[in-house]
Amino acid sequence: MTFAWPHLLWLLLAVPLVVVVYVMLLRRKRKSALKYASLMLIRDAQGAGRFRRHAPPLLFLAALILMIVAVARPAAVVTLPSAHETVILAMDVSGSMRATDVKPSRIVAAQEAARGFVADQPKTTRIGVVSFAATASVVQSPTHSREDILGAIERFQLQRGTAIGSGILVSLKTIFPDAEFDLRSFNPRRDAAKAAAKDAAKAIDGTPGKETPKAVAPGSYLAAAIILLTDGQTTTGPDPIEAARMAADRGVRVYTVGVGTTSGEIIGAEGWSMRVRLDEESLKTIANVTRGEYFYAGNAVDLQKIYKNLNTKLFFEQKETEITSLFAAAAAVLALLSATLSLLWFNRIL
């Protein structure tokens, strides 16, 4: 827990003084009670039992402590519902997904897990599907129709090559249709030079150049998220780390799922063979850059659990929130309870 005004916590030093004053008042009360000859009068003066005598003041003391803490404006990390209106499933359909180290195969396990994920989503969430191999394409634009989404997942066709960067950029384009993303190999100097030349040409023609959107805090865009599932290493297309930085500049989180074994498996077809390995470091970097999270699925059961966990990650987020109102409300309830008990038992407020 943190405090916006921690210096006000020094007021808590007054609590022991309040306790001392209360004890002194009790002693004075006992001394005055001894003046009466009747033991009944002494008992009435001291109250009806220790619990009743001390309960209201203790409740009021607790209310005082809570109120002082509230004045210091406490904040804590709490779990709150988020509002991801769009989720993009970016799924690897490269040839290595036919490997069987994840039973019955990587692609079949991925499809089954994706179907379960789609079924668990709120009806208000739009889901889009992007597939990528050597290139990436939108196989289903974001929609509320679960039948269309499941149909797109069923129609996956395995192809050669793995362009993880293209998968990220096409997913971004799906979220921001009006934005411009270079789907070729990423080259910052070349792209910056081209953009500058285009703006200069428009300036000469008298046409204002298109403003480049300002970067926002990574992970701050809560209306959409990308779930990237892959089993291999990038073999072509844009640099996936640079693509991740573009997603981060837009505030979009990318949750990466690595499926397969880290040792890899040898697959082959039509006279060729190769060992396909999972590039965990790249996937972890993509997730870290975008403030997402990386998950490793070594088998089909793990993959199912990951998608279940992603439901919580996407629709409930932890954020630091000021909780002054909670402390103030608790203090008010305790103070009211203290006064009520004192009136009921002693016909007075404290």
Q: Which domains does the chain have, with CATH numbers?
A: 2-77+322-346 (no CATH), 82-184+211-298 (3.40.50.410)
Statement: residue 220 has pLDDT above 90: no
User: What is the pLDDT, as a whole number, of residue 273?
Assistant: 56
| Sheet of 316-322, strands arranged across | 2-3, 74-81, 316-322
The most confident of 31-45, 128-142, 223-237, 273-287, by mean pLDDT: 128-142
Name the residue with tokens 């060729």: 272
- Cβ burial of 297 (10 Å; 0-12, 13-18, 19+) is buried
> How confident is the model over 161-181, as pLDDT tens digits?
899 999 999 999 999 998 877
The reply to whether the predicted model has a pTM over 0.85 is no
User: What is the pLDDT, as a whole number, of residue 28?
Assistant: 76
Weakest-pLDDT range from 76-80, 120-124, 213-217: 76-80
- Taking all residues of the chain, what is their mean pLDDT, rounded to a whole number? 81
Residues in Cβ contact with 59 at an 8 Å cutoff, skipping those fewer than 6 apart = 334, 335, 337, 338, 341
Q: What confidence tier does 280 reach under pLDDT thresholds 50, 70, 90?
A: confident
> How confident is the model over 27-38, as pLDDT tens digits?
777 666 555 545
In the numeric block, which tokens belong to residue 78? 């709490």
| Percentage, residues of the chain above pLDDT 70 | 75
Q: How many helices (H) and strands (E) does the chain have?
A: 11, 11
